Amino acid sequence: MSHGAGLAQPGPDALRRAASRFGTPCAVTSTGVLAAAAAELHAAFPDPWLRAFSVKANDVRAIVARLGDLGLDANVVSSGEWAVARAAGLPNARITLEGIGKTPADLRAAVRAAANGEPLRWVAVESPEELDALVGLARRAGLGSTRAGAGAVRPPLDVLLRLNPEVAPETLHGLATGRSTSKFGMTETELTAALATIPPGEGPVRVRGLHLHVGSQLGAVDAWRSAVHRGLALLALLRPERPDLDTFDVGGGFPVGDPGTVPAPARFAREAQALLDAIPEERRPTRLAVEPGRFLVAQATTLVASVLHVRERAEGGRVVVLDTGMTELIRPALYDAEHPLEALTSLGRPAGEVPPGAVYPARVDGPVCESTDTLGTYRLPPLERGDLVAIGWAGAYAASMAMGYNGRPTPPQVLLEPDGTLMAGRARTRFAVR
């Protein structure tokens, strides 16, 4: 695969400074790029839309906190991500719990928080079985009932029901969560049957609406529009008999790419508004939510690495081995994903001093003991051990999917402020050899 796209911020000088101060590999996140992405999302989906960051895209507490300061709430899929959001300073009222893998402990924690008077904004339920389990826990905790001797009613736990929209998303198969064959969400038949088990206006659990998510890195709006249309139509059908059904969460999936190559959030927002306008006002949801992940963080972070080896192979040409790879950025190995990559230094000097024509192809591999640990083929200047390279668009599904295979430590996460200040966001894990 050949890659030619340039890197977004941060710039090469800041990346070289980060490597000198924090070592390599290290991940450097531009807070200016985070702010620009948050502003674009806000412009596309202004108040009263609820805007949340999908923490699974990047679980670095400092980044979640910065997005929280920029007005983004948190969408989490486990107690672990919930803990990150709380540590980042977000209250439960700004956190939603979703995800297909919620454990009994996760559900108990959500019920316990509600019983203690600090409920999550909502819990999105994946299946009738999960709803039954949650109702049982909420009933035993006394939610939706009068407190003994106090006369006060404990509010019920608010939930959304996740709809599988059964569409064909314009993305990689592994990123398409809204397909009919997907494990995620309920069919219309399953969802309406599950809803029928919850009496309106009473009980330990209150169903507030529907949630859906079509997929990630959507290359077009067609499937997303079809999914939103289907969800809104179902909600409009149900609302007359269920006035509590006032919420519709459209998920995320907004792609990142060079300008003009992928649809922007504003395009998705226009489609959503047109669909809402077509529904009679009394049947429209009054609370709307969007929860992107990748769009907010992907382009903000650059992974800085050092060259370990440069090898010439008779059949493969030049091979460059870095000190970072699939343990820090698994997407190329997992999805054959493309990331821009550039040299920061060449033969010990800033790469900008290299004559423009002095570049030629090289396959860039990582340090892990797996042949699939490769980033692709790039045009690079002459390199030697110790030279630095930068891998762009590494802010989504990198830090949150990092692993310790081969006993490798997780890299430090560094925040770059607009004035050039570098701040430690999360330290490198350390292994001591005795």
Q: What is the DSSP letter of 402?
A: -
Written as one string, the DSSP assignment of 252-280 is: ------STTSS--HHHHHHHHHHHHHTS-
Mean local confidence (pLDDT), 250-263? 88
Mean local confidence (pLDDT), 405-417? 95
> Is the Cβ–Cβ distance between 46 and 71 less than 8 Å?
no
Classify domain 12-27+299-426 by CATH number.
Answer: 2.40.37.10
Provide the pLDDT confidence category of residue 432 given band limits of 50, 70 and 90.
Answer: low
> Is the Cβ–Cβ distance between 298 and 256 less than 8 Å?
yes
Name the more confident of 327 and 154: 327
Token reading at 189: 């038949």
The contacts of residue 129 (CB under 8 Å, 6+ apart) are: none
In a 13 Å sphere around the CA of 327, the CA atoms on its Cβ side amount to 20
Mean local confidence (pLDDT), 172-176? 56
Secondary structure (3-state) at 376: strand
Question: pLDDT digits over 16-27, tens only?
Answer: 999 999 999 999
Global pTM? 0.93
Domain 59-292 has CATH 3.20.20.10: yes
Measured over the CA atoms of residue 35, residue 94, residue 122 and residue 270, the dihedral's sign is negative
Provide the pLDDT confidence category of residue 431 given band limits of 50, 70 and 90.
Answer: confident
At residue 382, does pLDDT exceed 80?
Answer: yes
Rounded-to-integer distance, Cα 325 and Cα 191, Å: 42
Do domains 12-27+299-426 and 59-292 share one topology? The answer is no
Domain positions in the chain? 12-27+299-426, 59-292
At residue 272, does pLDDT exceed 90?
Answer: yes
The contacts of residue 110 (CB under 8 Å, 6+ apart) are: 97, 119, 120, 123, 134, 157
At residue 4, does pLDDT exceed 50?
Answer: no
Omega into 10 within 30° of 0, i.e. cis?
A: yes
At residue 168, does pLDDT exceed 90?
Answer: no
Rounded-to-integer distance, Cα 364 and Cα 379, Å: 10
Task: Give the model's pLDDT for residue 216.
Answer: 72
First to last CA, the chain: 42
At residue 374, does pLDDT exceed 60?
Answer: yes
Measured over the CA atoms of residue 74, residue 76, residue 79 and residue 84, the dihedral's sign is negative
Rounded-to-integer distance, Cα 211 and Cα 228, Å: 10
Task: Give the model's pLDDT for residue 178.
Answer: 56
Residue 376 CB: number of other CB atoms within 10 A? 17
Angle, helices 79-87/104-115, rounded to nearest 10 degrees:
40
Determine what percent of the chain is predicted with pLDDT higher than 70.
92
At residue 181, does pLDDT exceed 90?
Answer: no
Determine which of 310-314, 346-350, 385-389, 410-414 has the lowest per-residue pLDDT on average: 310-314
Rounded-to-integer distance, Cα 205 and Cα 56, Å: 26
Provide the pLDDT confidence category of residue 260 given band limits of 50, 70 and 90.
Answer: confident
Provide the pLDDT confidence category of residue 145 given band limits of 50, 70 and 90.
Answer: confident
Q: What is the 3-state secondary structure (H, E, C) of 154-175?
A: CCCEEEEEEECCCCCCCCCHHH
In a 13 Å sphere around the CA of 418, the CA atoms on its Cβ side amount to 5
Average pLDDT, whole number, for the chain? 91
Task: Give the model's pLDDT for residue 170.
Answer: 59
Residue 142 CB: number of other CB atoms within 10 A? 15
Rounded-to-integer distance, Cα 425 and Cα 37, Å: 19
* Residue 10 CA from chain centroid, whole number: 20
Write down how long the chain is: 434
Task: Give the model's pLDDT for residue 249.
Answer: 97
Provide the pLDDT confidence category of residue 336 given band limits of 50, 70 and 90.
Answer: confident
At residue 415, does pLDDT exceed 90?
Answer: yes
Task: Give the model's pLDDT for residue 434.
Answer: 76
Determine which of 61-75, 108-122, 131-145, 419-433 has the lowest per-residue pLDDT on average: 419-433
Task: Give the model's pLDDT for residue 2.
Answer: 35
User: Phi and psi at residue 261, in whole multiples of 5°?
Assistant: -95, -15
Q: Find the DSSP H helices in 70-115.
A: 79-87, 104-115
Residue of 299, 327, 309, 307 whose CA lies nearest to 411 = 327
Question: pLDDT digits over 289-304, tens only?
Answer: 999 999 999 999 999 9
At residue 7, does pLDDT exceed 60?
Answer: no
